[in-house]
A and B are shown apart, each in its own frame.
Chain A
Amino acid sequence: MSTMIPVQPASAQPKPRSSIGWRILWGAVAVLAAFAMGAIAQSRGEAVNSMWLVVAAGCTYLLGYRFYAAFIAARAMTLDNRRATPAERLRDGHDFEPTNKWIVFGHHFAAIAGPGPLVGPTLAAQFGYLPGALWIVIGAVLGGAVQDFVVLFASLRRDGKSLGQMAREEIGKVGEFIALVTVLLIMIILLAVIALVVVNALKDSPWGVFTIAATMPIAIFMGLYLRYARPGRVMECSLIGFVLLMAAVSGGRAVSQSAALAPWFTYSGVALALALIIYGFLASALPVWLLLAPRGYLSTLVKLGVVLLLAAGVVFLRPELKLPAFTRFVDGTGPIFAGRIFPFCFITIACGAVSGFHSLISSGTTPKMITKEKHALSVGYGCMLLESLVAIMALIAAASLDPGVYFAVNSPAAAVGGTPQAAVQTITNWGFPVTAGQMNALANEAGERTLFYRTGGAPSLALGMAKIFSSAEWNRGLIAFWYHFAIMFEVLFILTTLDSGTRVGRFMLQDLLGQVWPKLGETGWKPGMLATSGGIVAAWGYFLYQGVVDPNGGINSLWPLFGISNQLLAAVALCAGTTILIKMHGAKYMWVTGIPLVWLVVVCFTAGWQKIFADAPALGFLAQARALQAGPHTAVTPQLVFNARLDAGVTAVFLVLVAAILIDSARVWIAVLAGNRKPATTETPFVLSALPEEA
């Protein structure tokens, strides 16, 4: 149904408090934000306390929430608590159910918080702590939180529709198709890159592999316990699972020190990749109640607990930032990933600043639970700010490591040299002193054989977290436990994303292929299920394998690809949001989503272009293929050449898809703004809410 937007009367608009005390308070927050930002931005050559960063970020979030988000809510969205939400109008006690604001907040945060805001900032710390910190804070306040908020609002006003459905109705069929294909491609790249993070974290680490291997029987035990022993006792079961998990983390030390057991849990990267591919296939085909659901509960609760623990660690222990504000690698010669600070800092940190994936959650279950329209402000905008704060905590954990250690852990052998002596020499020559003895001592403390070449971000983040936790007086000497606890947390978290993502990808592939051959679209048809599961696992498994055999460590090529694809999905969501705002108000508020959209398009297209066509083999995929062909040939050279060309092709597909949706959207915007098209939207008609304000 097509309706014009009813204008909310001025009397219903929020009345800002304007007492002098209130103004002084917000003025003080603004001054504190500016002062703390100045302290971290102007510091050169000496260690800075991380509390400055926390204060700068916290105060900026408060200002953004109180003023910018409130402005968007009142003027651009005209949120109106008198209007019944889908949860009230379509209430069915299942999908649609009015829910307490803070419960929806917890639900939404648990759904949007993934490994991205932990890993991305850790990798981007190669530029120094300042570029990443500024992008995380400013990007979230002006871009990421705005995207989540606008998509949530749009879905709220459209019966809780998905991003794809809204893109089709507001822009056209091209929009929906592109949103679908982009999501599927992102899913494949995402699963490959997070699996690579797992492989690099567990490679040659019997303690880590034992702990993670133990999570499988623990999850299956939980599944059986919940189904047959104590049905419905999810929290009780999760608590038992958590205790068993802690026992596995502690027991891992004995396994790693046992000459008989350690070899059983020591694997190379290729072997671990193969194990993950088999696991992904089984997890997507097994009954949900047996593995996926219980592990999902455990992982979510551990995730929330660790985020709180990390926040408490940073606030109470106040670690110093040892990385400099800027490193020499802003020029694009970094060992962890190639490319200059612009655009690659903004690509590497996607989740935590702007994440297109959030638009799927904001137009998924969340809009079906919101009781009052104005709750969208705290849920949509507020949750993203909280995720941004998690990214800041991860950045602090990475930046609190000695710079030499940070680069020794995160750099691949191809960048620093194939022996520990060569690596420490190269890194010391860069101006970040480190010795082989220091690294060996650290590896011993962490219960690992080596910490060299542990690319992917997870080991350095775990090391940073372990250092913070074990700096407390009562925790000294527990680095090994905390390191493996952090690894367990990251890997458990990632595996949950991996198995649920494989399953979701399978359904998406079935939806797509079902349009060509309807039988394949039937989710209950076993051959179709197995074929599509196999297809998705083969797709991400190939990219994973490619990353594992990549002489540059894989992260250099795959993480930027993931960042570009995630930001491009954000561009699709912002296109839909801009179209809706133009249809509501003409050009008046199109800048709200238009500015982050323009920024993301510039960043993604610059990064995409450079990844395809740059002359430097470390940066450009095609140049890499040419260099491989010109260099000495080995048995794997043809495969590496093919991989580089494939990555170039995937990047090009992303750019073409988003260019198409941009052109399609611009066509609609011009038609509406020029008056050639009636600015009708698919917003549902106004229905007066019968629920009290605080339901």
Chain B
Amino acid sequence: MRRFWRLLWDVLREISDERAYALHLARHGVQHSPEEWRRFCDEHWPKASRRAGCC
């Protein structure tokens, strides 16, 4: 059951882009900060907004 909740939490983190942000921090080797989050948003969201959501 714990594994299930853990997985559900991970799915929510994926949908909320928190996992993508964690990868961003790891890729750049930096810690979380407001500036870093804004940098992530400015890189990630314009790209994500080019993908079609389904009907």
Contact = CB atoms under 8 A, between A and B. Distances in A.
B54 A112 contact: yes
Contacts of B18: 232, 234-235
Interface stretch (A333-341, A358-366, A513-521, A672-680): A358-366
B55 A116 contact: yes
Given A234-B18, A507-B50, A497 B23 contact: no
Contacts of B34: 228, 231
Interface in A88-131: 92-94, 97, 99-100, 102-103, 105-107, 110-116
A231 B37 contact: yes
A306 interface: no
Contacts of A226: 37, 41
A509 interface: no
Nearest to A238: B16
B50 A231 contact: no
A364 B47 CA distance: 12
A694 to B, nearest CB: 12
B2 interface: no
A397 B8 CA distance: 27
B45 A93 contact: no
B12 to A, nearest CB: 6
A343 interface: no
A16 to B, nearest CB: 27
Of B10, B34, B46, B53, most A-chain CB atoms within 10 Å: B53
A357 B34 CA distance: 36
Of B15, B18, B23, B50, most A-chain CB atoms within 10 Å: B15
A60 interface: no
Contacts of B7: 100, 102-103
A501 interface: yes
Nearest to A193: B55
Interface residues of A, number: 56
Interface in A180-207: 183, 187, 190, 194
A165 interface: no
Given A94-B24, A227-B41, A289-B41, A235 B13 contact: yes
A357 B51 CA distance: 12
A643 B10 CA distance: 48
Contacts, number: 123
A270 interface: no
A301 interface: yes
A503 B49 contact: yes
A103 B19 contact: yes
A106 B14 contact: yes
Nearest to B51: A364
A100 B37 contact: no
Interface in A270-293: 288-289, 292-293
A278 B38 CA distance: 28
A162 to B, nearest CB: 10
A300 interface: yes
B53 A293 contact: no
Nearest to B50: A507
Contacts of A297: 15-17
Interface residues of B, number: 34
A235 B49 contact: no
Contact of A107 (B14, B27, B41): B14
A503 B27 contact: no
A351 interface: yes
A361 to B, nearest CB: 6
B53 A114 contact: yes
A288 B45 contact: yes
A106 B11 contact: yes
Contact of A231 (B20, B38, B48): B38
Determine chain B's interface SS by DSSP, over half rule.
Answer: helix
Given A106-B14, A106-B15, A107-B14, A496 B53 contact: yes
A566 B49 contact: no
A231 B35 CA distance: 9
A237 B40 CA distance: 17
B49 A288 contact: yes
A355 interface: yes
B52 interface: yes
Nearest to A351: B55
A142 B33 CA distance: 49
A504 interface: yes
A495 B27 CA distance: 34
A293 B14 contact: no
A500 interface: yes
Contacts of A501: 52-53
A293 B52 contact: no
Given A106-B11, A106-B15, A113 B54 contact: yes
A232 B32 contact: yes
Interface string A218-258: 00000000111001101100100000000000000000000
Contacts of A355: 54-55
Nearest to B43: A94
Contact of B55 (A232, A293, A357, A507): A357
Nearest to B27: A93
A111 B54 contact: yes
Contacts of A496: 53
A453 to B, nearest CB: 25
A102 B11 contact: yes
Contacts of B48: 288, 293
A516 B46 CA distance: 24
Given A231-B37, A232-B21, A293-B41, A194 B55 contact: yes
Contacts of B42: 289
A190 B55 CA distance: 7
A497 B53 contact: yes
Contacts of B55: 114-116, 190, 194, 350-351, 355, 357, 497, 562, 566
Contacts of B12: 235, 301
20 contacts: A102-B7, A110-B15, A112-B54, A114-B54, A116-B55, A183-B52, A187-B52, A228-B34, A231-B33, A231-B38, A288-B46, A289-B42, A301-B12, A351-B54, A355-B55, A358-B54, A361-B52, A365-B51, A497-B55, A500-B52
Closest 8 CB pairs of A and B: A106-B11, A231-B37, A234-B16, A93-B27, A288-B45, A231-B34, A116-B55, A232-B37
Given A111-B53, A231-B38, A293-B45, 10 more contacts: A93-B23, A100-B10, A102-B10, A103-B14, A106-B11, A114-B54, A232-B21, A234-B17, A300-B15, A500-B53
